[in-house]
C-alpha cells in the first residue's frame, strides 16, 4: 500500500534533480496531451502543437503537415493559421511516408523502402521539409499527415524516449484534429440547416 506511492515520489524527485531538462519537456508534452483533448478549434490545436513540440524538444524547425480537402497543407511555427499547399510531388512523398506507419529518421529512410525510387522520394521529402525525423499522424481511413522535426539546437540525436513521446503526442494530435474537423463540419451543417429553415419560414410567411 505504501511502497508504490513512495517509490513514485522518490522517482519524480530524482528525475527533477538529475534529469531536469528531460523531466521538464516530458511534463510539457504530457500537459499538451491533456489540453489537446479539450480543444475544438483546428488553428488553436495547430498553434499549441507546434509551440509545445518546438519548446520542449528545442528543435530548429517543426512543420505540421495535414490532409485538408483532398490535399496536404504545411503549417509552421508563427504561421499556424495559413498553411502552404503542398505540390503534387510533395503530396505523394508525404503519403508514402505516412504509409510507413511509424516514426522515420532521415538516416534510415533508404532502408525502410522497397526500392531505390521510394528511397529517393523520401530523401527528397526530408530535404523539402528540412527534417531529420518524421512522425506520422495515425488514422484508420486515410493518412492525415505528419509532424516533421528539424535537428535539435544542441546537436543531440533523437533518442528512443523522444520518439516514444512524439508518437504519443501524434496519436493525441490526430484524435484532436479529427474531432475538431468533425465539430467544424457539424457546425457548418447546422448553419446550413438554420438558413434553410429561415428561408422556408420566410417563404411560408409570404405565401400566407
Residue 142, Cα to own-chain centre: how many angstroms?
15
Per-residue model confidence as pLDDT tens for the chain (208 residues): 778 778 777 776 776 666 555 556 666 666 777 777 777 788 888 888 888 888 878 889 999 988 887 788 899 887 766 778 888 888 888 887 877 677 888 877 655 555 577 778 888 888 888 899 999 888 766 677 889 999 998 888 888 878 888 888 888 888 888 888 788 888 889 999 999 999 999 999 999 8
pLDDT value of position 196: 92
Would you put residue 28 in left (φ > 0), alpha (ψ -120 to 50) or beta? alpha
- Residues contacting 1, CB < 8 A, separation 6+: none
Instruction: List C-alpha distances in Å: 130 to 1, 106, 124, 169, 179.
Output: 50, 10, 10, 21, 29
pLDDT value of position 80: 64
Q: pTM here?
A: 0.72
Q: Supply the Cα-derived Rg of the chain in whole angstroms.
A: 21
The enclosing H or E element of 71 equals strand 71-76
Amino acid at each position: 500500500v505504501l511502497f508504490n506511492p513512495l517509490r513514485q515520489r522518490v522517482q519524480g524527485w530524482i528525475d527533477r534533480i538529475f534529469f531536469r531538462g528531460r523531466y521538464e519537456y516530458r511534463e510539457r508534452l504530457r500537459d499538451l496531451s491533456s489540453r489537446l483533448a479539450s480543444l475544438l478549434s483546428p488553428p488553436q490545436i495547430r498553434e499549441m502543437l507546434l509551440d509545445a513540440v518546438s519548446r520542449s524538444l528545442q528543435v530548429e524547425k517543426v512543420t505540421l503537415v495535414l490532409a485538408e480537402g483532398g490535399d496536404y497543407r504545411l503549417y509552421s511555427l508563427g504561421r499556424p493559421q495559413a498553411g502552404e499547399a503542398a505540390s503534387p510531388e510533395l503530396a505523394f512523398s508525404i503519403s508514402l511516408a505516412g504509409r510507413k506507419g511509424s516514426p522515420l529518421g532521415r538516416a534510415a529512410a533508404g532502408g525502410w523502402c522497397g526500392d531505390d525510387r521510394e528511397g529517393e522520394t523520401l530523401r527528397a521529402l526530408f530535404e523539402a521539409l528540412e527534417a531529420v525525423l518524421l512522425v506520422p499522424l495515425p488514422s484508420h481511413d486515410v493518412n492525415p499527415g505528419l509532424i516533421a522535426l528539424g535537428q535539435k539546437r544542441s546537436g543531440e540525436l533523437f533518442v528512443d524516449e523522444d520518439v516514444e513521446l512524439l508518437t504519443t503526442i501524434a496519436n493525441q494530435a490526430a484524435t484532436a484534429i479529427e474531432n475538431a474537423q468533425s465539430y467544424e463540419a457539424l457546425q457548418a451543417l447546422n448553419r446550413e440547416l438554420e438558413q434553410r429553415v429561415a428561408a422556408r419560414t420566410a417563404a411560408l410567411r409570404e405565401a400566407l
